[in-house]
Amino acid sequence: MKAKDLVLWSLLAWLWGSSFLAIAIGVESVEPFPLVAGRMLIGAFLLLAVLYARGGTLRLGARGWSVAVVVGTTGNVVPFLLISFAGQSVDSGLAALIMGIAPVVTLTLAPLVHAGETLSRLTILGAAIGFCGISVLVGPEAFYGLGGDLVPQLLLVGAALCYAFTALFSRRFPFANALQMAAASVLVGALATSVIAVLQMGGSPVPAPSTRSLIALVYLGIGPTALAALIYFQLIPRIGAGRVQQVNYIVPVLGILLGALVLNEQPEWNALVAIPMIVLAVYLVTRRSGEAPKPCVIGTR
């Protein structure tokens, strides 16, 4: 992986990893549905403002909008709904374990979707070590819940598959203008989640958020939503879906570290064992192994 791509990849990992801390602060005074809708609206507004300030438009053409609708739906709306419903009865550790299948599935299927993706022995080893690292991180008690609440667990599997599909789909149909696609797909997600939030609240009055929660909401919109979407659409055609998805191994690690630093949460021994495993796994998967063929892209119309 080139130095520039590694920097962007690391920034993406930081943005998504820090979202756990921001969400924990945000839900102190904001319900989950309005919180997600709010961050999506802020992200969409910011991306659209930057897009039009740079002289761009949302004229993607029929094919470009089709890609944006698919990505916005499978990358935001559907997995958010599935995770929200599953989270009511599935422990967070087990949820993290199940969601860990997303990078494994992406890495396995990527060579079948795009010729530029490769699946070497070291890559397979890295994916296996990464999943084992996630297993150690969440602890053996997470496995005790497997099979207990089958439907919610299947919903989490569906969410993980949505993320894998979104990465593979974005790799198969990359767009010439990353900012344009990021703005369009986040806008699709913002509109859909806003409608869902309004229906979920049912017209009940919304309490005023605390200053902490409001700051967290703004950060979620600017960083883990707007900036992360832009980086995501830049990296997918450059380094491939499989490598980008390995961010999902780093995300829970960053969540634990930030929780310890900011919220004084004490990580247990398994975190100290899991973190080196995950770092090794990411190194094996994201190491530079030659230049991949440049993908054909969907141009603007």
Alpha-carbon gap, residue 155 to 301, rounded angstroms: 37
Is the per-residue pLDDT at 68 higher than 90?
yes
- The secondary structure element, H or E, covering residue 205 is none
Residue 278 or residue 155, greater confidence: 155
Number of domains in the chain: 1
**Residues 28-32, mean pLDDT to the nearest whole number:** 84
Q: Which domain holds residue 25?
A: 3-286
Q: Residue 298: inside a domain, yes or no? A: no
Task: State mean pLDDT over 96-101.
Answer: 68
Q: Is residue 226 part of a domain?
A: yes
Residue 106: inside a domain: yes
Lowest model confidence (mean pLDDT) among 5-9, 86-90, 237-241, 272-276? 86-90
The H or E element spanning position 221 is none
Q: pLDDT digit string (tens) for 215-238?
A: 999 999 999 899 999 998 988 888
Query: What is the pLDDT of the chain when averaged over all its residues?
Result: 79
Question: What DSSP state is assigned to residue 223?
Answer: I
Q: Answer whether residue 282 is part of any domain.
A: yes
What is the pTM for the complete model shown?
0.76
pLDDT of 116-170, one tens digit each? 666 677 777 877 887 787 777 666 655 555 555 667 778 878 888 898 899 889 8
Is residue 126 situated within a structural domain? Answer: yes
Residue 195 in domain: yes
Question: Which of residues 89 and 163 earns the better pLDDT score?
Answer: 163
Angle formed by the axes of helices 92-99 and 101-113, to 10°?
10
At residue 301, the pLDDT reads: 33
Give the long-range contacts of residues 206-214, CB within 8 A, separation 24 or more.
206/34, 207/29, 208/29, 209/26, 209/29, 209/30, 210/28, 210/29, 212/25, 212/28, 212/29, 213/25, 213/26, 213/27, 213/28, 213/29, 213/30
Tokens 């491939």 appear where?
Answer: 240
Residue 50 lies in a domain: yes
Q: How far apart are CA 223 and CA 229, in angstroms?
A: 9
